[in-house]
Amino acid sequence: MEEGREAPSHVVLIPSPGMGHLIPLTEFAKRLLPWKHLSTTVITFSAFTSVAEQSLLTSLSASISIIAVPNIRHDDLGARGGTETKLGDAIMASFPFLRTILLNLKEQAPVVALVTDIITIGVHHVARELGLPAFVFFTTTIMYLTLFLDLPNIYNQTNEDGNLIHLPGNVPFRPKDLPR
């Protein structure tokens, strides 16, 4: 870096595995490219990266850095649960690697945002430890978002008498229709 010029601020994106999670965050990364004062890194979980995901990642601009968290052996994750449980366990088992990666990025330039999706939200604990601002990139339908945001109110104000719950833009539903 030339003397007198600061390193660009850093935005770190951590999508969970799966094209439905990777595509929105890589598209977001592309939207940040014109901002010359920002550098962007996408962190992936190599144990869960498919051939299609790898192809997408290699097609990105060289201006977007890609870092893969080392493989967490599936054997180390235990036998409990299905793929979603193993994925959650793998993300938690990756915290030490993520901590090291984030510390290294933080040494290179100020990390101004750590952006996860709803599945990798557990990484916010690591961000908090390191004093990094963390955000959730919530890519879903507006109907789900209104339900998600209003769930605490629904939970606190609903009884089992069958009154319909009305959310803006949603079809009314009964409390018993919600999972427990």
Q: Which two tokens stand for residue 36?
A: 């010359």
Distance CA 30, CA 52 (A): 18
For the stretch 66-122, pLDDT in tens is 999 987 765 655 656 677 777 788 888 899 999 999 999 999 999 999 999 988 999
The residue type of 101 is I
Residues near 79 by Cβ (< 8 Å), separated by ≥ 6? none
Q: Which residue has the higher pLDDT, 173 or 66?
A: 66
* DSSP string for residues in 91-149: HHHTHHHHHHHHHHHHHHS-EEEEEE-STTGGGHHHHHHHT--EEE---S-HHHHHHHH
For the stretch 135-147, pLDDT in tens is 999 878 777 887 7
What are the structural domains, with CATH classification, of the chain? 9-136 (3.40.50.2000), 144-177 (no CATH)
Distance CA 83, CA 54 (A): 19
The DSSP call for residue 155 is H
117 counts as catalytic: yes
Q: Examine the pLDDT at 36 and tell me if it is beyond 80.
A: yes
Which of these is catalytic: 74, 75, 76, 117?
117
CB distance 124 to 116 below 8 Å:
yes
Q: Which residue has the higher pLDDT, 72 or 14?
A: 14
21 counts as catalytic: yes
